Amino acid sequence: MSVRKLKPITPGQRFRVVNNFEEITTNKPEKSLTVGISKSGGRNQTGKMTMRYTGGGHKKKYRIIDFKRNKANVEATVKTVEYDPNRTAFIALLEYADGEKRYIIAPNGIKVDQKVVSGESVEPNIGNAMKLKNIPLGTVISCVEMKPGQGAILARSAGSSAQLTSRDGKYAIIKLPSGESRMILTECMAMIGSVSNSDHQLTVSGKAGRSRWLGRRPRTRPVVMNPVDHPMGGGEGRSSGGHPRSRNGMPAKGYKTRKKNKVSNRYIVSKRK
């Protein structure tokens, strides 16, 4: 995994930093695991724009990912490591001993022809999926479930990982990428290792057009809007926009928006920084 800086032969390439994609082994997805995906352009069923700054983008297909890893005790071979336009992490194509194929989120360091397996009594090797009650303490994990059988919810993006710090009865205490420590049932599944493509955060697009390719339209700064459009708008010339807040008036930069009486607060051991 590495990035490279392009030579400044055009204005758009002057600052561009790209991923080398050294881990990618093929550019064609498994046809049986892809489905069509339609775009809304930020409009609802009546055609009214309800999401700003959304629209355009390259045509793409959705890859069906196995987040549950519920094919227990059947060994699978890694066939390919592929790029997925729907997420920042890479994905790996597994072929099980019985011939079934599935995509999973590729962990960091996974190789083609490597064997992976999920189940109760498996080795805690990279790419294997296990229940939290069977994972050794201190192990770096990713793709963690929040409810048994729900499928991976936490630590799924490029380069992210969590750490299993301790166990207390039927709960395991996980330190999440945000810094929050949280209790999760030990019956939940998790994958061993961190998520691939950890250099994703080092890339620089180089030009506005790349955002358009990803389906993002230009975003208007609140300070340059009119008072009717945003609380921070208005004023003569380059005057200040007032206190940072959202379009609906919710303060930003430090204001806590989490509900004090939220039911899941009792599962949080220590809050995020």
Domain residue ranges of the chain, discontinuous segments joined by +: 3-201, 223-261
Q: Per-residue confidence at 111, pLDDT binned at 50, 70, 90? A: very high
Task: Give 3-201's CATH code, choosing from 3.30.530.20, 2.40.50.140, 3.40.50.10490, 2.60.40.1170.
Answer: 2.40.50.140
CATH 4.10.950.10 fits 223-261, yes or no: yes
| Mean pLDDT in residue range 237-253 | 90
| Mean pLDDT in residue range 100-121 | 95
Question: How many CA atoms within 13 Å lie on the side-chain side of 133?
Answer: 12
Q: Which of 67, 77, 96 is nearest to 156 (CA)?
A: 67
Q: Per-residue confidence at 1, pLDDT binned at 50, 70, 90? A: low
pTM: 0.91
| SS3 at position 39 | coil
pLDDT tens-digit readout, 171-199: 999 999 999 999 999 999 999 999 999 99
Mean pLDDT of the chain: 95
Whole-angstrom distance, CA of residue 19 vs CA of residue 158: 12
Beta carbons of 38 and 50 less than 8 angstroms apart? no
pLDDT tens-digit readout, 192-239: 999 999 999 999 999 999 999 999 999 999 999 999 999 999 999 888
Q: Per-residue confidence at 247, pLDDT binned at 50, 70, 90? A: very high
Q: Which residue has the tokens 């409009």?
A: 43
| Confidence at residue 239, expressed as pLDDT on a 0 to 100 scale | 85
Q: Which of 85, 152, 140, 153 is nearest to 109 (CA)?
A: 140
Q: Which of 129, 100, 127 is nearest to 112 (CA)?
A: 127
pLDDT tens-digit readout, 38-84: 999 999 999 999 999 999 999 999 999 999 999 999 999 999 999 99
| Confidence at residue 241, expressed as pLDDT on a 0 to 100 scale | 83
| SS3 at position 202 | helix
Q: Per-residue confidence at 121, pLDDT binned at 50, 70, 90? A: confident
- Sheet strands (E) in the chain: 3-5, 17-19, 34-36, 61-63, 76-82, 91-96, 101-105, 115-116, 129-131, 140-142, 144-145, 152-154, 162-168, 171-175, 181-185, 189-192, 268-270
| Confidence at residue 242, expressed as pLDDT on a 0 to 100 scale | 86
pLDDT at 120 over 70: yes
| Confidence at residue 240, expressed as pLDDT on a 0 to 100 scale | 79
